[in-house]
Amino acid sequence: MFSLLLTVATIAAGTPAAVNTAKPPSNPHIEVRVDTAHSQIIVTAGPFNLPAMDPYMDMSEMDKTPNEVMRFDWPVQGYMRGFSVVVRDAAGDTLPPDVLHHLIGVNFDRRQLVYPAVERLFGWGAETSPVVLPSSLGVPLHMGEHLGMYAMFHNETGHDIAAAYLQLTILYTPSKGNHVLAVMPFYVDVNNVIGGVTTFDVTPGKSMHSYEFELPLSGKLVGIGGHLHDYGTMVELQDATTGKVLARLKANRDDNGHVEGVGRFIFGFNSDALALEAHHPYRVVAEYDNPTGDTIKDGAMAHINGAFVPDDMSQWPKLDLNDPLVKKDIATLPIMSDMKGSGSQSAASGSRSRRSAKSASPQAGNAKMSDMPMSPMDHMNHVPSPGSKPDSLRGTPRP
């Protein structure tokens, strides 16, 4: 599902766009089109001017590429149930998927479940495959709701791209005439710093990090996924009162401890979903095991995200735009703390440039971007067949 799209399309050098030496366009605009026949919303943004980047330079160089938040309004009364992204050039031809490092969607009208921060509605990385929820599920959105998205690009094609266009296709289910179970994004991090970096240092040997939290309303988790950087071993959800492990997501590591992926778990959509109680203490715990003997500055991240079905949607915490943390979150939105962590991580490990890390272990770099704090959908685009073995352990019997 998260298989890498390693197809590298060859772009002919010297396309009309590339030879244009005039000052390139730098004010991308956004266009939203609704295709009611196919229940699709097509959001096109651009043009973006993407100078060629040195593949061996530090990832922080990416901060120089356009990454403003582009706002648009949700144009239908209905549920979001999937999305996909392609990048095209001025001629409409598809660009290599890894030109787009990530694209994050934000809902400025709704708060996150755990944190006083705006909702991260969806996320896309170069390695993401199109996401589709079962038709009976969807993220509820109201017509006119204020959304936005921001992108980070990484042009390693070897030549400048004067005008790139993002094309986001969102699948929706109209509210009218459809019975849809509302699922909401769930995100909890061992070190979430709103408006700051969520990365932390990886000390030699084993280390644990945790964060205790409560939910403002009760509901059920139908599926979760985890995110860890290299040397992470697992991230788990605990009942903080009893210490019981509710779900453990193990990292898939190679012999050197490089993380190639983190487990995900679908509890189920009905009575088998994991019930979480309002105002009850829970804990997210992550373990790292760093064999290098060195501290890796800002090398780690750990979070769980997933899909949450509230018992009573009307109890969802209100977004308080006067809350200093919410203000800070919005003000710092395009800042990608994750990549800063990755950048210093590759710097710390010296010889591992992005490209060499990529070829040595195709998913290692991408694990960083594959499940960011945003959408339930990353983890929902497949439903395990009955009797299939989950790739994570559940510590307690089903309720």
Residues that bind Cu ion (CB under 5 A): 301, 338, 368
User: Please, which residue, 154 or 220, has the CB nearer to Cu ion?
Assistant: 154
Say how many CA atoms lie within 13 Å of 118 toward its Cβ: 25
User: Please, which residue, 309 or 336, has the CB nearer to Cu ion?
Assistant: 336
User: Please, which residue, 81 or 101, has the CB nearer to Cu ion?
Assistant: 101
Answer whether 3's CB lies under 8 Å from 129's CB: yes
Q: Which two tokens stand for residue 327?
A: 């203000």
Q: Please give the Cα distance from 285 to 304 (Å, whole number).
A: 10
CA distances from 227 to 5, 47, 187, 246, 265 (A): 20, 32, 11, 17, 13
Q: Shortest Cβ distance from residue 64 to Cu ion (Å)? A: 21
Q: Please give the Cα distance from 25 to 309 (Å, whole number).
A: 43
Q: Shortest Cβ distance from residue 46 to Cu ion (Å)? A: 27
Q: Shortest Cβ distance from residue 90 to Cu ion (Å)? A: 33
Q: Shortest Cβ distance from residue 341 to Cu ion (Å)? A: 6
Q: Shortest Cβ distance from residue 156 to Cu ion (Å)? A: 20
Taking CB positions, which residue lies at the least distance from Cu ion?
301
Q: Please give the Cα distance from 31 to 94 (Å, whole number).
A: 18
Please state, as a whole number, how many other Cβ atoms lie within 10 Å of the Cβ of residue 390.
14
Q: Please give the Cα distance from 266 to 222 (Å, whole number).
A: 6
Q: Shortest Cβ distance from residue 337 to Cu ion (Å)? A: 8
Q: Please give the Cα distance from 225 to 305 (Å, whole number).
A: 6
Q: Shortest Cβ distance from residue 339 to Cu ion (Å)? A: 8
CA 77 to chain centre: 24
User: Please, which residue, 110 or 379, has the CB nearer to Cu ion?
Assistant: 379
User: Please, which residue, 66 or 232, has the CB nearer to Cu ion?
Assistant: 232
CA distances from 290 to 100, 295, 302, 370 (A): 30, 8, 14, 22
User: Please, which residue, 189 or 236, has the CB nearer to Cu ion?
Assistant: 189
User: Please, which residue, 50 or 301, has the CB nearer to Cu ion?
Assistant: 301
Q: Concatenate the DSSP letters of all residues of 154-176 into one string.
A: ---SSS-EEEEEEEEEEEEEEST
Q: For tokens 């030496």, what's the residue?
A: 21
User: Please, which residue, 154 or 368, has the CB nearer to Cu ion?
Assistant: 368
Q: Shortest Cβ distance from residue 228 to Cu ion (Å)? A: 8
